Amino acid sequence: MEKQQKSGHLVLVMAPFQGHLTPMLQLATILHSKGFSITIVHPELKSLNPSNHPEFTFVSIPDKIKESQLSDEDLADKLKESLVSTVDVAGSLQSLNKNCTAPLQKCLENILHSHHHIVAVIYDTLMFCAQTIVNDLGLPGITLRTSTATTLLLFPELPQLGEKELMSGIESPELQALQLQRLRALIVQNPTQMMMEVRAAFTNAMKFSSAIIVNSMEFLELEALSKVRQYFPTPIFIVGPLHKLAPTICGSLLTEDDKCISWLNKQAPKSVIYVSFGSIANIDKQELIETAWGLSNSKQPFLWVVRPGMVCGSEWIESLPNGFEESVGERGCIVKWAPQKEVLAHAAVGGFWSHCGWNSTIESICEGVPMLCRPFFGDQLLNTSYICNVWKIGLELQNLERGNIERTIKRLMVDMEGKDIRKRAMDLKKKAALCLMEDGSTSCYFNGLIKQITVSET
């Protein structure tokens, strides 16, 4: 395939995590379809199979991060300790950025030599070292936020964004319902020097970037967005849902098990609860057992993703309780990794019990699937607050005991309360579809983004 195209050359810098590399790959696909040629630079820790994406040039850079230092499992344990962030996570991100700085700089210089010109470098916000490098090279740096724009309000290192400023003007019901103050308090509690440094580097990079791209939809966070804009003069482009703009892209690092689709085909419409906690979160054996009995006792059919290693101290599902399989029979299907977007779009799926990672949240919204929220860390807490308090398209599972799980599943899947929630979820689905129309907000932002990239070139 022709790699040098008419709109110029873009370099995209990925972060080595499933929830981050998929939206970057989707963005690459869309920009490629607009005529840009693309090089994807990624830390060698996690990489996609380049032969599945022959339209891009892939460059791997050494990160000197051992799998054990930044593996999903290890990261999940560290993140769980303090809900939001820890010294170790901050340390790992700092090491990743420190170790990638020189190789990324060299890589960009090599690309400049061969292509003579790079119109912009688009980097994941976690790869904040990229901004310093592009500043030195005189290239425009654009950052991709794979979560909501609202998360930017949670960082205390934002210039002029103290508690007083954050709260002033938060009289809108939407922002009040979101409980930003409570979530921010969780983030700022007991910061270490390392955490403050990483957050400062992160927000600093965003300040110097020439644009911020967000994989969200404007209508979902309109109120917060106007607040974000007060503190970030940088142009913000809300271009989601990227997975709907690049639907054929599969960026899974694990193999999707398609057998669950034939199982779904045999289930009644909207009867199945789909359970998945994304690519990082871990649970302990007790939670596995309570989840198993909660699902069994709810009497609803379920499709459950248990990643190998997701249950601490187990290889896979060998810790499931005795009698569980017999009690469930054909009513349950457990897989290691599912084709999630296809699952959520399936007519049999009526609810999504999720950790509320942003990709899962936005994928669920686009299919009108109501959610049961079990957040673990980071932006999942904010997403849960949006889902349950602002959009009201889900219920939070606060107590992970089997009786409560059973009752909450029934509230969502069977009760009148669930019917209202489903109706609101379907309304959001319709609004999401409108964003993608020619005059919808996403299309307009995309045109603006392309213009911005092209203008910075001239």
Neighbours of 168 (CB within 10 A): 11
CB contact at 8 A, 187 and 157: no
446 binds ligand UDX (CB under 6 A): no
* Nearer CB in complex with ligand UDX: 146/296: 146
12: Cα separation from own chain's centroid: 17
- Closest contact distance (angstroms) between CB of 82 and ligand UDX is 15
* Nearer CB in complex with ligand UDX: 140/278: 278
394 binds ligand UDX (CB under 6 A): no
* Nearer CB in complex with ligand UDX: 237/337: 337
Scanning residues 196 to 225, which ones bind ligand UDX (CB under 6 A)?
Answer: none
Per CB under 6 A, the segment of 129-137, 267-275, 359-367, 394-402 that binds ligand UDX is 359-367
- Closest contact distance (angstroms) between CB of 369 and ligand UDX is 12
Q: Which of 16, 19, 103, 141 binds ligand UDX (CB under 6 A)?
A: 19
- Closest contact distance (angstroms) between CB of 274 and ligand UDX is 9
340 binds ligand UDX (CB under 6 A): yes
Per CB under 6 A, the segment of 2-10, 31-39, 373-381, 414-422 that binds ligand UDX is 373-381
151 binds ligand UDX (CB under 6 A): no
* Nearer CB in complex with ligand UDX: 17/353: 17
Q: How far is CA 270 from CA 78, 273, 300, 343, 414, in A?
A: 36, 8, 10, 12, 10
21 binds ligand UDX (CB under 6 A): no
Per CB under 6 A, the segment of 26-34, 59-67, 218-226, 375-383 that binds ligand UDX is 375-383
Take residue 363 and report the two structure tokens written for it.
């994928």
Q: Which of 232, 274, 304, 337 binds ligand UDX (CB under 6 A)?
A: 337
143 binds ligand UDX (CB under 6 A): no
CB contact at 8 A, 212 and 237: yes
22 binds ligand UDX (CB under 6 A): yes
CB contact at 8 A, 338 and 260: yes
- Closest contact distance (angstroms) between CB of 138 and ligand UDX is 31
341 binds ligand UDX (CB under 6 A): yes
442 binds ligand UDX (CB under 6 A): no
Take residue 445 and report the two structure tokens written for it.
């932002």
Take residue 339 and report the two structure tokens written for it.
């084709």
Scanning residues 273 to 332, which ones bind ligand UDX (CB under 6 A)?
Answer: 276, 278-281, 305
78 binds ligand UDX (CB under 6 A): no
* Nearer CB in complex with ligand UDX: 368/378: 378
Per CB under 6 A, the segment of 63-71, 126-134, 293-301, 336-344 that binds ligand UDX is 336-344
Per CB under 6 A, the segment of 5-13, 260-268, 282-290, 356-364 that binds ligand UDX is 356-364
Q: Which of 63, 379, 384, 413 binds ligand UDX (CB under 6 A)?
A: 379
CB contact at 8 A, 373 and 396: yes
148 binds ligand UDX (CB under 6 A): no
CB contact at 8 A, 137 and 112: yes
Per CB under 6 A, the segment of 13-21, 102-110, 137-145, 292-300 that binds ligand UDX is 13-21
At what angle are helices 416-435 and 441-457 packed, to 10 degrees?
Answer: 40
Question: Which among 214, 265, 270 is positioned nearest to 242, based on CA atoms?
Answer: 214
Q: Which of 94, 252, 297, 327 binds ligand UDX (CB under 6 A)?
A: 252
**What does the binding site for ligand UDX look like in residue numbers (CB under 6 A)?**
17-20, 22, 146-147, 252, 276, 278-281, 305, 337-338, 340-341, 357-360, 363, 378-380
